Structure 1
Amino acid sequence: MIRLDDVQIFVRTADAGSFSEAARQLNIAPGQASACVQRLEKALETRLFTRSTRSMQLSEAGERYLPHARLMMDAQERGELALADGRSALTGTLRLSAPSDFGRNLLLPWLDDFQHQHPGLSLQLKISDRAADLIRQPLDAVVRYGTLPDSSLLAMTLAGDNRRALCAAPAYIERHGAPTKPEDLRQHNCLRYVWSEQVHERWRFTLPGGERTVAIMGNRMSDDADAVRRWAIAGKGLVYKSRLDLIDDLKAGRLVELFPAAHCEPAPLSLICADRSRLTPAINALHLFLKDRCAALLASHPPRDDIG
């Protein structure tokens, strides 16, 4: 018999990359997380992770099982949400923070639809490329890219498979050509942005021969990632940022993807709460709603791995 809590811990461990990090997020002991995954492996009669003294990663079977495990967890959340919706409508104020590009161009229209579904909710939205402090600021949740550095917070995956994309406008490529390998970036104008007081100027890639990090340079930088995307569309240089933020531009031909998706840095997107006690019905509903919208957007323009 497969236990849903074991499946939940397996999914959280796959996202976190370790039993200890998954255990911290779920407020359980690391040994308990490991035991739950081992029990799931026994029930499935297969190894879901390959482990060594230094690392742990999904096995081939684990890679195949993970999407189905996510569907099981989604089904459980939807069932709980359906029961909650049947008991009472969502009301009150939902206070959110989101990064600039995602917040302005994707989240704003999505929140219109979400509030239309739940008219009893009031929304307060802060848009900023500074990392919001869930402990000190009056926020219910934040939308954030990247791996969660503070293990005391609770992260709910919105787009775990999202990656960065290296892109340029057709006009820029016509004038300057396209890079074919990371080292070529040193000869190009790379558009930089500041996230939480740190300049994003070391661009990382994963190639068949290993990881490469390139220190890039350029003549434009902003603390607003949306401005950097707009510069790229105008042909001012190369941009390297979340593919979710760039999909509409890629579909419209305003930008061109230059490197295979598998070579680009992961950029998982999460909805984050201060702790499990903040998981209100409104937050749970928003999590499922945004997760569906992210999945649909990524599926509308799948990445190509045969670029170049």
Structure 2
Amino acid sequence: MKNIQDLRLFCETAQQGSLSACARKMDISPAVVSASLKRLEADLGVLLFIRSTRNLRLTQKGEQFLRHCKNALAILDEATTQIHSEDEELRGVIQLSAPSDMGRNLLLPWLDNFMEAHPRVEVRLQLSDSPADLYSQPVDLALRYGKPKDSGFIAIPIAPNNVPVLCASPSYINQFGSPTTLQQLTEHNCLCHGHNDTLHTRWTFSKESKQASVDVTGDRQCKDGDITRKWAVAGKGIARKSKLDVIQDLIHGRLVEINIDGWHGETFPLNLICAERRILSPTVNAFKLHLLENVTALFNQLK
């Protein structure tokens, strides 16, 4: 198995789902892709794909080989990158998706600082509370809250101990008081947000080994987390937000965290997600460290 390009074409064909799509992606002819796969199958002595006139799917042996092949290519790419980049200036394009609130209020200045330190780095940023599709959209990295739904993704912890918190402005609390039980939340104007077709109006809490949920209502609902935070700061109601999203407001007193008799939200970690290990270039690794430093500094200010 001397041709590494055969391995790359195999992985790309599996991801694209057809010879023609792989050929377009790699800017070669379908005949070259077909010959490469036949050569690889002959070298291995197994059938990797089941082909028909319209469909192409991996065999069981093909699926098994694909996992090992991706790992092997990732290790090789990482080694090659390290050899050629030890003394080089960071460069390249960071294609990143992030939640709207964190993106606008925390990430933008962090990106500016990173790009000022590394002027040959470019950034293409997508902000949305709906998760980006790392396979179909022009995004290599995503900052996401919660555990990755795709177990095949690589998840790098950025804020592993982040939690959702209840918060409101001092003016709201002065006017309406602060709830002391979960049930009292139903008596308050709660600011609900969500994404896609989901609006989170049931808030779930944990305490020791117990769990409880409360159905909340309010006169303001939005699927943009930044708007929800701004409503809370303006005194319009109680919000349930990621602590990292409101940490600057908590530090500067624009919002106050509401604690209800030991009830708390489940851990809501922030991870940097990518689909393949080869994406973790020296530039991405440096950006990851930059994120970790800034997040750690913020949480230290709140202590």
Residue in 2 that maps onto 1:289: 290
Residue in 2 that maps onto 1:106: 106
Query: What runs of 5+ residues in structure 1 fail to find an aligned partner?
Result: 1-26, 29-80, 303-308
Residue in 1 that maps onto 2:166: 166
Structure 1 segment 196-275 matched on structure 2, within 5 A: 196-208=196-208, 210-259=210-259, 263-275=264-276
Residue in 2 that maps onto 1:148: 148
CA drift at 1:170 = 1.2
Task: Kindly provide the amino acid, as one letter, of the partner of residue 297 in structure 2.
Answer: A
Query: What secondary structure sits across from 1:165 in the alignment?
Result: strand
Task: Kindly provide the amino acid, as one letter, of the partner of residue 280 in structure 1.
Answer: S
Structure 1 segment 1-308 matched on structure 2, within 5 A: 86-208=86-208, 210-259=210-259, 263-302=264-303
Residue in 2 that maps onto 1:35: none
Q: Distance in 2 between matches of 1:86 and 1:276?
A: 19
Query: What secondary structure sits across from 1:297 in the alignment?
Result: helix
Task: Kindly provide the amino acid, as one letter, of the partner of residue 103 in structure 1.
Answer: G
Task: Kindly provide the amino acid, as one letter, of the partner of residue 269 in structure 1.
Answer: L
Q: Deviations over 1:16-38 (max 9, x none)?
A: xxxxxxxxxxx79xxxxxxxxxx
| TM-score, structure 2 normalization | 0.70
| Percentage of identical aligned residues | 43
Query: What secondary structure sits across from 1:171 in the alignment?
Result: helix
Change (3 A) 1:184 1:91: same
Q: Distance in 1 between matches of 2:200 and 2:289?
A: 30
Equivalent pair of 1:131/1:196 in contact (CA under 8 Å):
no
Equivalent pair of 2:165/2:264 in contact (CA under 8 Å):
no
CA drift at 1:163 = 0.7
Equivalent pair of 1:130/1:197 in contact (CA under 8 Å):
no
Task: Kindly provide the amino acid, as one letter, of the partner of residue 218 in structure 2.
Answer: G
Equivalent pair of 1:191/1:238 in contact (CA under 8 Å):
yes
Q: Distance in 2 between matches of 1:273 and 1:197?
A: 25
Instruction: Identify the range of structure 1 (159-168 vs 200-209) with the bigger mean alpha-carbon deviation.
Output: 200-209
Q: Distance in 2 between matches of 1:262 and 1:275?
A: 38
CA drift at 1:181 = 2.0
Greater radius of gyration (CA): 2
Q: Distance in 2 between matches of 1:217 and 1:136?
A: 36
Equivalent pair of 1:84/1:281 in contact (CA under 8 Å):
no
CA drift at 1:187 = 1.0
CA drift at 1:264 = 2.6
Q: Distance in 2 between matches of 1:233 and 1:165?
A: 14
Change (3 A) 1:152 1:170: same
Equivalent pair of 1:94/1:124 in contact (CA under 8 Å):
yes
CA drift at 1:217 = 1.1
Query: What secondary structure sits across from 1:95 in the alignment?
Result: strand
Query: What secondary structure sits across from 2:129 in the alignment?
Result: coil
Q: Deviations over 1:163-200 (max 9, x none)?
A: 11100111111221111122211111110112243212
CA drift at 1:87 = 2.6
Query: What secondary structure sits across from 1:265 in the alignment?
Result: coil
Query: What secondary structure sits across from 2:219 in the alignment?
Result: coil
